[in-house]
Amino acid sequence: MTSHDVTLEWPDGRTRTVEVDENETILEAAECDGSVLPYGCRTGACGTCSGRLLEVEGTRPSNGERAGDGDADVCAVDDVVAYRRLPRALKDRHRATGYVLLCIASPRADCRIAVGSSVHSELVDNPWK
Amino acid sequence: MSDASTPDSVEPDHEHEHRHEGPGYATPQAAIEEGEREKLAYVMSLYVGTDVDAPDFVSVVDLDPDSDTYCEIVDRIELPNRGDELHHFGWNACSSSCHMEGLERRHLIVPGQRSSRIHVLDAQDRRNPELETVIEPEEVFEYDLSAPHTVHCIPDGEILISMLGDADGELPGGFLELNEDFEIEGRWEPPGEIEMNYDYWYQPRQNVMVSSEWAAPETYYPGFDLEDVEAGNYGQRLHFWDWEAGTVEQTIDLGEEGLIPLEVRFLHTPESTHGFVGAALSSNIFHFWRDESAADGDGAYRAEKVIDFESREHDDWDMPVPALPTDILISMDDRYLFGSNWLHGEVWMYDISDPSNPRRADSLSVGGTFGEVQEVQDRELAAGPQMIQLSLDGERLYWTTSLFSSWDDQFYPEEAERGSVMLKADVDPRKGTMKLDEDFLVDWGECPAGPARAHEIRWPDGDCTSDVWQ
Ligand code: FES
């Protein structure tokens, strides 16, 4: 079974590299490894488990900044993970900017992903402010 | 009176004939007269969506002013998994079963909104409820349902839960029925009756149930997005059901002024066909009633906007801030409608003696974006009033401050760091006034694993948002 190294990066600077099989989700592998990631539905509907792709092996690091539209690194997001089911909690604009639902995503390449509850809060702003 | 400790009590006859051998009270008036002052509260408490490595829990809060632990969380029933998002919950039996000998108001049905996991707690020991059964999400998904919301008991001992989505978190939602042994009985309604679902209330003597609409779980779970409003992904309709048949008889589209109709309440009097629903996004309250004289149909339901909260300008916001009335309740004597404007930071009470013409009685400006009171006992309030609960005698109104974790994060991000609070106002039902009780504060910011959010509140022996009469 092919596996990939997925490096999880928390906002406080902690990182952890987890080996994830192609047939398990990043959330499952992180749990087996004892790493705590937020989740809710585990079916791809709620977005609680959102991570943000920072770098794919072999491409230039984006220094943890949220990538903009048309960023070549991020366009690769659908090649970097395979989804078990439809990632319903993510809109096109989220997928285009590198967001990944870790509860249903399995890796297809070594990568670094920003994790933690703050990633979910990036998905939608206060529309009145 | 305690349902769990005196399940076989026989009430003296009041102004009606039926025998009272089961749980609850014979009439709403009996609940007011015989119900004791609330000494404990059960409160949904949650960590979902934060980095705190702990499951959600049910808090038991001491509300007895004579107790040494007044205003403290005296017990926390931790659930087995993380990620549930405890939200609304209910009893296995209420006053609607007061004729059912042997049935007790003893088990709390506690669903996880995000996980679709359903917990059953045995609350025979009111201070120390225990987890009894867990229905795992996979069992729920088998019925192509997810996102459990409102729990009411059916008068024969079964339990009905509104479910907001299908197994994938898309539409349609529906209703899940549990049997007396807390096993899934199946879907309650025939397929295809509704698309969106949210809260519901039933009035068995009138053979009617009313249900409201939020959105598909995939829409509201990630957070509130105006794009979804523009795309018509949020609800604006009320459904009136034949309670016996489980079929929708009439649907009323509330229009743009009725966007996101959330909590829906019938008056407690079982004869009444009047009720209210809060349209959160449009910041309006609608009155609905059965119009017996309807020319175009035999006793059709009508709905009319009766309260309109204006948006307010705020220097720090780009656009006028809507009030967002997210919860409403009706006092046990059916005299007052209470509600919370979560964004503005206001709790309010309207006299609904004439339900078509609610008259503003009083309000409190507390927390939220505009509240005059922004801290209690030096504790900053991170959000506005949200879930409310009223004492049976209508003299004490309590509220918590969390709406839904992902929505909290958008509008009150500080709540994740500070946690929720529970506050209280003393109500004078005779004068129609409210006063903030500054001595009362329960703080979820001090929970051992980290700050937690707090949501729905229930009393051990029945309350204004769960008891129904046959
Ligand atoms: S946990 Fe809900 S989308 Fe992943």
pLDDT tens digits, B108-152: 999 999 999 999 999 999 999 999 999 999 999 999 999 999 999
User: In this predicted structure, what is the pLDDT of residue B17?
Assistant: 53
SS3 state of residue A30: helix
Res A20 pLDDT > 80: yes
Q: Quick check: B51 and A39 CB within 8 A?
A: no
* Residue among A31, A36, A48 with most chain B CBs within 10 A, to mutate: A48
User: In this predicted structure, what is the pLDDT of residue A93?
Assistant: 94
User: In this predicted structure, what is the pLDDT of residue B95?
Assistant: 82
User: In this predicted structure, what is the pLDDT of residue B22?
Assistant: 76
Residues B24-74: tens digit of each pLDDT: 888 999 999 999 999 999 999 999 989 999 999 999 999 999 999 999 999
For A10, name the nearest residue in chain B, comparing CA atoms only. Answer: B51
Q: Which residue has the tokens 């004892």?
A: A34
**CA angle in degrees (0–180, nearest 5) for A121-A125-A128:** 150
Q: Does A28 touch chain B (CB under 8 A)?
A: no
Percent of chain B with pLDDT over 90: 89
A89 CB near ligand 1 (under 6 Å): yes
For residue A87, the ligand 1 atom closest to its alpha carbon is 3
Helix-then-strand count for chain A, H and E: 5, 7
Q: Does A40 touch chain B (CB under 8 A)?
A: yes
Tokens of B268: 């407690």
- pLDDT classification of B293: cutoffs 50, 70, 90: confident
Res B14 pLDDT > 70: no
For A43, name the nearest residue in chain B, comparing CA atoms only. Answer: B168
SS3 state of residue B435: strand
- pLDDT classification of B295: cutoffs 50, 70, 90: low
Q: Quick check: B413 and A121 CB within 8 A?
A: yes
Peptide bond into B261 cis (omega under 30): no
Inter-residue contact B384 to B368 (CB < 8 Å): yes
User: In this predicted structure, what is the pLDDT of residue A68?
Assistant: 44
Average pLDDT score, chain B: 94
Q: Does A35 touch chain B (CB under 8 A)?
A: no
Q: Quick check: A40 and B51 CB within 8 A?
A: no
Inter-residue contact B23 to B12 (CB < 8 Å): no
List of residues 6+ apart from B136 with CB closer than 8 A: B117
Least-confidence region, from B85-99, B170-184, B278-292, B371-385 = B85-99
Closest CA to B419 of B382, B385, B376: B382
User: In this predicted structure, what is the pLDDT of residue B191?
Assistant: 86
Residues A37-85: tens digit of each pLDDT: 999 999 999 999 999 999 998 665 444 444 444 344 555 788 899 999 9
Q: What is the Rg, in whole angstroms, of the alpha carbon atoms belonging to chain B?
A: 20
Name the residue at shortest CA distance from atom 3 of ligand 1.
A44
User: In this predicted structure, what is the pLDDT of residue B15?
Assistant: 45
CA–centroid distance, residue B69 to ligand 1 (Å):
38
Residues B181-235: tens digit of each pLDDT: 999 999 999 989 999 999 999 999 999 999 999 999 999 999 999 999 999 999 9
Q: Quick check: B115 and A38 CB within 8 A?
A: no
Q: Quick check: B222 and A124 CB within 8 A?
A: yes
User: In this predicted structure, what is the pLDDT of residue B99?
Assistant: 75
Average pLDDT score, chain A: 89
Res B400 pLDDT > 60: yes
Measured in degrees and rounded to the nearest 5, phi and psi for residue B34 equal: -95, -20
Closest CA to B323 of B406, B267, B260: B260
CA–centroid distance, residue A49 to ligand 1 (Å):
5
Overall pTM > 0.90? yes
Label each residue of B4-68 as H, E or C: CCCCCCCCCCCCCCCCCCCCCCCCHHHHHHHCCCCCEEEEEEECCCCCCCCCCEEEEEECCCCCC
User: In this predicted structure, what is the pLDDT of residue B100?
Assistant: 76
SS3 state of residue B84: coil
User: In this predicted structure, what is the pLDDT of residue B128?
Assistant: 97
